Amino acid sequence: MDRHAARRAPGGQQVSTQPLTTESRPLSASSAAGRTDPARIRNFCIIAHIDHGKSTLADRMLQLTGVVDARHARAQYLDRMDIERERGITIKAQNVRMPWTSGIDGTEYVLHMIDTPGHVDFTYEVSRSLAACEGAVLLVDAAQGIEAQTLANLYLALENNLTIIPVLNKIDLPAAQPDRYAAEIAHIIGCDPDDVLRVSAKTGQGVDQLLDVVCREIPAPVGEADAPSRAMIFDSVYDIYRGVITYIRVIDGHITPRQRIKMMSTGAVHELLEVGVISPEPLPTQGLSVGEVGYLITGVKDVRLSRVGDTVTDAIKPATTALGGYADPKPMVFSGLFPIDGSDYPLLRDALDRLQLNDAALVYEPESSAALGFGFRCGFLGLLHLEITRDRLEREFNLELISTAPNVVNRVILENGEEQIVTNPSDWPGGGRIAQIFEPIAKCMVIAPSEYIGAIMELCQNRRGTLGGIDYLSESRVELRYTLPLAEIIFDFFDQLKSRTRGYASLDYELAGEQQAELVKVDILLQGEAVDAFSSIIHKDKAFAYGTSMTGKLRKLIPRQQFEVPIQAAIGARVIARENISAIRKDVLAKCYGGDITRKRKLLEKQKEGKKRMKMVGRVEVPQEAFIAALSSDEDVPKK
Amino acid sequence: MPSSLPDGDPAPTDGRLPESALSTLGRTPFGFYVHVPFCTTRCGYCDFNTYTAQELGQGAGSVSQGTYADTVIAEIRMAREILPASTPPVSTVFVGGGTPTLLPAEHLALILREIDAQFGIAPGAEITTEANPETVSQAYLEHLRAAGFTRLSIGMQSAAAHVLQVLDRVHTPGRAQQAVAEARAAGFEHINLDLIYGSPKETDADWQLSLDSAIAAGPDHVSAYALIVEEGTALARQVARGIVPAPDDDVLADRYVQADETLRRAGFDWYEVSNWARTPAAQCAHNMLYWRNHNWWGIGPGAHSHVGGVRWWNVKHPASYAQRLAEAVSPAAGRETLGPDSRLMEHNMLPVRLREGIGISELSQQGLIRAQEAVGRQLIDRQMWDLGRIVLTQRGRLLADAVVRDLVA
Ligand SMILES: Nc1nc2c(ncn2[C@@H]2O[C@H](COP(=O)(O)OP(=O)(O)O)[C@@H](O)[C@H]2O)c(=O)[nH]1
Ligand SMILES: C[S@@+](CC[C@H](N)C(=O)[O-])C[C@H]1O[C@@H](n2cnc3c(N)ncnc32)[C@H](O)[C@@H]1O
Ligand code: SF4
Ligand SMILES: [Mg+2]
């Protein structure tokens, strides 16, 4: 599972209803919203790797600009979800408006800082956030150097023609190597090492100069004030009290609270209930004008009605063309989610319904598995999205779940020319009717110390990768570019990468179409009966290894039964691996236990209870734990 | 470390039993178990409720073997007050441990005399004591025999020196067989040898030697138990640290088959999963009380009792046990009154272990279906099934707990 990025779910729930813990002063910057001269606006985001100090820097900026009183500042003001605080990751940050009087020219500017999610699953959302800005602060830990997602997002920012302000953070650290990493950054973006700013978000050193440079370097937004209004949605979150809060950046015209607006992708018209800015609490305003960033509330209760990337326009005087770049979220990774306790199925359904209110990318439909019972086949943007969703279902809804091994979406062309999109191994067309198979591929970027080049190349080779190129970022760090099947990436790739590079490699990837592939479906059979939950679509060269590992794992995980249980891996009718669980021979307490009948009975009762947690596969009793362990990509299977 | 007591309901301080339990007392045989919680050293595998002198400590409030019989007698008298006059005469007494034979023979005799005085011991009753081989002598055994003991159960465990050592046993190979001879000479008609199989480092040949030696000593009863690694014991710690391997279930199954075959050839028939007897009269009548769900009163710390669907157990520590009795308070720590589910479980779990088995009329509809399947899997004897009884095959005995779980599912 990817743990390498600042995380942020499209489903992150925003909590805007908590009591104000700060005194938000009535600032000129916010009171003037709706009438701000675009020439004085600077819209920017911060691109950083997890832990390189984005939240700390944002906190410092809020303090310096007076938006949050130093006395009331609490660490990481902008990261609000508990889960974020706990994990120390950014799932959903916020977008703030700050006033700043430049120390260079004395002008009072309005700064909009827009948060960018940092993970590959949400590349599309990142691209929309970047599209709302004219510039980006590239924040790099002066003791670590640049990491892969940062580089990927940097490239994305450059594609969007953003002005980049390179900054090294944590220069107060004794381990900081600002000269070395300034050279690295200069090499990557093609600037002078002296142009790389040096700050300490912790002590505040250099942050005011950084704000001045933001005002000086980043271009002001341009748009037509008198044209029909057009604003781009770059974020959309569900709040239980207020409904959907939509974050927008105004491109042309005005958005005012009295307006009726139209979503240009669907034509849906909404009444506006509120328009405002965040500074750092929501503050209703008389409107938003060209270049301004703020929020609007329409009372809709489902984020799918207010989609990231869509264009908001006036319902009565609509714009004729939408802003470019809109795309529907497309699930790339599928997995079946099943409640461990079958009676939790309705709870799981309700929970998914609730999450979907806040997660336009989450799709699901009921699925029934012979082995796992009733559940849902869910589609996700990627592995992280899957993990976050699962995590939230378990934490917030108290569900215990089994998830099947994630799989990608394959396109199968049958001999009769028919095309099938397969999102579930159970739907794989059998009987040799397949003419061609296409699988999704991804362009992958790995940054690591150069001593690991060999290990990384070996891993990528193993995963059917094609080398695209190698670049030295500096003498000791390299960037490797590979094209890999997405299916290989979602199968334990990141953990493998980390372990082969002692944790030093970082990874980013983006989807890059499809390729033809020789895939097969491997079934796992217990006593001759296929267990649907274990079926997997896999490259033919890896089928044997998969079959061997799965049958071996299951042999260790399934307790012995009163009869022999053959475990087989098969492609169609051809068995490619087999193991045997020999019949249990002893299951009796053959000891003198005197009169303590109670203890003996309770033991039997407990064992009988345990039987209820078993899933029956034909006549074979399989413990839930065996499913969970067999489906996890973990190599070490605990002994039963 | 002694194992812990079950969770249950609190027991009343006067130990009184509900009328419903007492009213059934006359219907089945009634016995006494007397627990003697002392051992010279603790064997590494043992989690019985027993204590070494060192564990019990010295000085005020400590428990002494010398006064133990008096405490036991106090509980016998308490039992007399609680149980009704309709209580049948005592048909079995079983003194177990711990090591009962650490007490002077005269103390065991006193205990027996008290039971007889209060309840009356039935003619032909079976009176057993357990004995550790190294603790008895011809004279000691004669004393017991004269006091009315009829049966001796000797903890032989193994004939292999290295196995005895692994088990922390203090007796030497041969001593148990010698004790059998002494018991015979003292006039004991019924003698049992306890054996343990599956100990670390025990081989098939070691086990065969133990079986052959036990048979050659001439007892009329053999108990063979699979070594169980009980939680909290020294053995469990050794297994956890990887110093000795845990007994392997397949090996234990092999050893069981080896025991069953060897004993059968020597003229012993199994009558309970772990018990073999040369004749029906040699079967341990007291143990049959347990398997048949009859009534008994367990005397002593940690002892368990059953009367008419009520099970209870005494406080574990000998000191708190003695203190309770000194204050004329019931030593019972907890009890349970069996509900229909528990009764059903026990009605299957207990007698299914016996050669006499269960009548199929005792099973539920679902149980019958499961039993039929078990016949098919050769766990239940087909001939006996046709005669309307559930009797386990040798394979079925080794899977007895699984069969019970199926029958009550
Ligand atoms: N010494 C030092 N530590 C910093 C600095 N900036 C951030 N940190 C620490 O680095 C860690 C990660 O910072 P955070 O702002 O949460 O990073 P984010 O994941 O990018 O939001 C935290 O422990 C911060 O206290 C800095 O300038 N100097
Ligand atoms: C109440 S015990 C002890 C009797 C006596 N003190 C002795 O050790 O000879 C009765 C029998 O239970 C058996 N036993 C005790 N602990 C055991 C264990 N952990 N596993 C298997 N059998 C055990 C031994 O065979 C022992 O003889
Ligand atoms: S002598 Fe018997 S009761 Fe005492 S510790 Fe050893 S096995 Fe347990
Ligand atoms: Mg953060």
Distance (Å, whole) CA B304 – CA B332 = 9
Using the mean position of ligand 3's atoms as its centre, give its distance from the Cα of residue B40 in Å.
Answer: 9
Q: Nearest CA to CA, how far is A587 from chain B (Å)? A: 4
CA distance A564 to chain B (A): 12
Residue B147 is assigned to a structural domain of this protein: yes
Say how many Å lie between the CA of residue A182 and the centre of ligand 4.
Answer: 23
Q: Does residue B324 sit within a domain? A: no
Distance A613 CA to ligand 1 centre (A): 45
CA-to-CA distance for A609 and A599, rounded, in angstroms?
Answer: 15
The C-alpha R_g of chain A, in whole angstroms, comes to: 27
Same domain, B282 and B375: no
Percent of chain A at pLDDT exceeding 90: 60
Does the Cβ of A55 fall within 6 Å of ligand 1?
Answer: yes
**Residues of chain A with C-beta less than 8 angstroms from the C-beta of B402:** 562, 584, 587-588
Instruction: Tell me which of B36, B248, B404 to substitute to probe the interface with A (most A C-beta atoms closer than 10 Å).
Output: B404
Which pLDDT band holds residue A75 (cuts at 50, 70, 90)? low
User: Hey, are the CB atoms on B402 and A584 less than 8 Å from each other?
Assistant: yes
Cα A290 to ligand 1 centre (Å): 34
Q: How far is CA B289 from the centre of its chain?
A: 11
pLDDT tens-digit map of B239-262 = 999 999 999 999 999 999 999 999
Q: Residue A601 is nearest to which of B345, B399, B409, comparing CB atoms? A: B345
| Whether residue B382 is found in the same domain as residue B273 | no
Nearest to A592 among B225, B252, B401 (CB): B225
Domains of chain B: total: 2
Residue at which a domain ends, from B260, B291, B322: B291
* Residue of B302 and A32 predicted with greater confidence: B302
Please tell me which residue of chain B has the smallest CA distance to A606: B405
pLDDT in tens, A90-103: 334 468 899 999 99
Note the maximum CA span of chain A.
Answer: 95
Cβ–Cβ below 8 Å for B405 and A608: yes
Ligand 1 neighbour A149 (Cβ under 6 A): no
Cα gap B217→B152, rounded to integer Å: 14
A511, A332 in Cβ contact below 8 A?
Answer: yes
Q: How far is the CA of A50 from the centre of ligand 4 (A)?
A: 7
Same domain (yes/no): B272, B202: yes
Q: Say which residue, A125 or A33, is predicted with more confidence.
A: A125
* Cα–Cα distance for residue pair B364/B386, rounded to 1 Å: 17
Domain presence at residue B344: yes
Q: How confident is the model at residue A510, as a pLDDT?
A: 87
Report the distance separating Cα A28 and Cα A32, nearest Å: 6
Task: Give the Cα separation of B150 and B191 in Å (integer).
Answer: 9
Run means of pLDDT, 10 residues per run, chain B, 409 residues: 76 93 93 97 95 79 85 98 96 96 97 98 98 97 98 98 96 97 97 97 97 98 96 95 94 98 98 97 96 96 96 96 96 94 88 94 91 95 96 97 89
Least-confidence region, from A16-25, A193-202, B361-370: A16-25
At residue A444, what are phi and psi to the nearest 5 degrees? -120, 140
CA distance A152 to chain B (A): 50
Residue B78 lies in a domain: yes
Q: Is B225 in the pocket of ligand 3 (CB under 6 A)?
A: no
Ligand 2 atom nearest residue B195's Cα: 25
Which ligand 3 atom is at minimum distance from the Cα of B130? Answer: 2
The pair of three-digit structure tokens given for residue A567, joined into one six-digit string: 């475990």
Rg (CA), chain B: 21
Q: How many CA atoms lie within 13 A of B190 on its CB side?
A: 25
Domain-embedded: residue B353: yes
Same domain, B355 and B284: no
Ligand closest to CA A52? 1
Single out the residue in B233, B262, B291 at which a domain terminates: B291
Report the amino acid identity of residue B113.
R
> To the nearest whole angstrom, how far is the Cα of B323 from the nearest Cα of chain A?
23
CA distance B245 to A555: 21
Interchain contact, B399 vs A586, CB within 8 Å = yes
How far is the centre of ligand 2, averaged over its atoms, from the C-alpha of B155 (Å)?
7
**Residue B8: its chain A contacts at CB < 8 A?**
598
Instruction: Say which ligand is closest to the CA of B133.
Output: 2
Q: What's the CA-to-centroid distance between A89 and ligand 4, angstroms?
A: 5
How many A from CA of B293 to the centre of ligand 2? 22
**B196 and B128, same structural domain?**
yes
Identify which ligand lies nearest to the alpha carbon of B50: 3
Pair B364, B270 in one domain = no
Half-sphere CA count of B146, side-chain side, radius 13 A:
8
Position A83 pLDDT exceeds 60: no
Chain A nearest C-alpha distance from B160 (Å): 20
B343 shares its domain with B255: no
For ligand 1, whether the C-beta of A90 sits within 6 Å is yes
Q: What is the CATH number of the domain that holds B214?
A: 3.20.20.70
Atom number in ligand 1 closest to CA A58: 15
CB–CB of A596/B313 below 8 Å? yes
The whole-number pLDDT of residue A3 equals 33
Q: What pLDDT, on the 0 to 100 scale, is given for residue A432? A: 73
Q: Is residue B313 within 8 Å of residue B303, measured between CB atoms?
A: yes
Weakest-pLDDT range from A208-222, A325-339, A612-626: A612-626
Assess whether the C-beta atom of B46 lies below 6 angstroms from ligand 3.
Answer: yes
Q: Which of A45, A49, A50, A51 to mutate to test the pocket of ligand 1 (most atoms within 8 A of CB)?
A: A51
In angstroms, the CA A580 to CA A526 distance is 10
Residues B60 and B121 in one domain: yes
Shortest distance, CA A591 to any CA of chain B (angstroms):
5
**Which residues, at least 6 apart from A21, have a Cβ–Cβ distance to it below 8 Å?**
A72, A74
Residue B344 and residue B287 share a domain: no
Query: In this structure, are residues B349 and B358 in contact, taking their beta carbons and an 8 Å threshold?
Result: no
Contact A604 B349 (CB under 8 A): yes
In a domain, B312, yes or no: no
> Taking CB atoms and an 8 Å limit, are A611 and B228 in contact across chains?
no
CB contact under 8 A, B274 and A591: yes
Q: Which of A581, A593, A601 to mutate to test the interface with B (most CBs of B within 10 A)?
A: A601
Residue among B36, B46, B52, B65 to mutate when testing ligand 3 (max atoms within 8 A of CB):
B46
| β-sheet bridge partners, residue A536 | A522
Q: Is residue B301 part of a domain?
A: no
Same domain, B251 and B371: no
Do residues B95 and B241 both lie within one domain? yes
B290 vs A contacts (CB less than 8 Å): 594-595, 597
Which residues does A contribute to its contact with B (CB < 8 Å)? Answer: 562-563, 584-592, 594-602, 604-605, 607-608, 611
| Nearest ligand to the C-alpha atom of residue A84 | 4
Q: At what angle do helices B175-186 and B204-217 cross, to 10 degrees?
A: 20
The pLDDT tens digits of the residues spanning B169-210 come to: 999 999 999 999 999 999 999 999 999 999 999 999 999 999
**Farthest CA pair distance, chain B:** 64
Whether residue B140 has its Cβ less than 6 Å from ligand 2 = no
Residue whose pair of structure tokens reads 């009087």 in the numeric block? A101
Secondary structure (H, E, C), B259-292 = HHHHHHHCCCEEEECCEEECCHHHCCHHHHHHHC
Q: What is the pLDDT of residue A608?
A: 85
A50 lines ligand 1 (CB under 6 A): yes
Residue B204 lies in a domain: yes
Contacts (Cβ under 8 Å, ≥6 apart) of B341: none
CA–CA separation, A137 and A46 (whole Å): 5
Atom of ligand 3 nearest to the CA of B98: 3
Provide the token pair at A512: 């890059």
Interchain CB distance below 8 Å, A587 and B349: no
Amino acid B194: pLDDT: 97
Compute the distance between CA of residue A248 and CA of residue A232 in angstroms, rounded to an integer: 5
Which of B275, B349, B407 would best serve as a mutation to test chain A binding (most A beta carbons within 10 A)?
A: B349
Return the amino acid letter for B280.
P
- Distance in angstroms (rounded) separating the CA atoms of residues A450 and A472: 8
Backbone angles phi, psi at A61, to 5 degrees: -65, -40
Please give the Cα distance from B15 to B44 (Å, whole number): 35
To the nearest whole Å, the CA of B253 is away from the closest chain A CA by 6
Q: Is the CB of B43 under 6 A from ligand 3?
A: yes
The answer to whether the CB of B198 is under 6 A from ligand 2 is no
Least confident of A137-146, A368-377, B82-91, B226-235: A368-377
Angle B11-B16-B22 from CA coordinates, rounded to 5°:
115
Indicate whether residue B42 lines ligand 3 (CB < 6 A): yes
| SS3 assignment, position A235 | strand
Q: Which domain holds residue B152?
A: 19-291
> d(Cα A558, Cα A556) in Å, to the nearest integer?
6
Contacts 24+ apart (CB under 8 A), A314-317: A314/A228, A314/A229, A314/A253, A314/A259, A314/A260, A314/A261, A314/A262, A315/A259, A315/A260, A315/A261, A315/A262, A315/A269, A316/A260, A317/A228, A317/A229
What's at A285, amino acid-wise? T
Strand B304-307 relative to strand B310-314, pairing = antiparallel
A67 three-class SS: coil
- The DSSP code sequence of A423-463 is SSGGG---TT-EEEEEEEEEEEEEEEEGGGHHHHHHHHHHT
Please say if the pLDDT value at position A23 is more than 80: no
- The answer to whether A601 contacts B342, with C-beta atoms less than 8 Å apart, is yes
| pLDDT value for B196 | 97
User: Both B160 and B86 in a single domain?
Assistant: yes
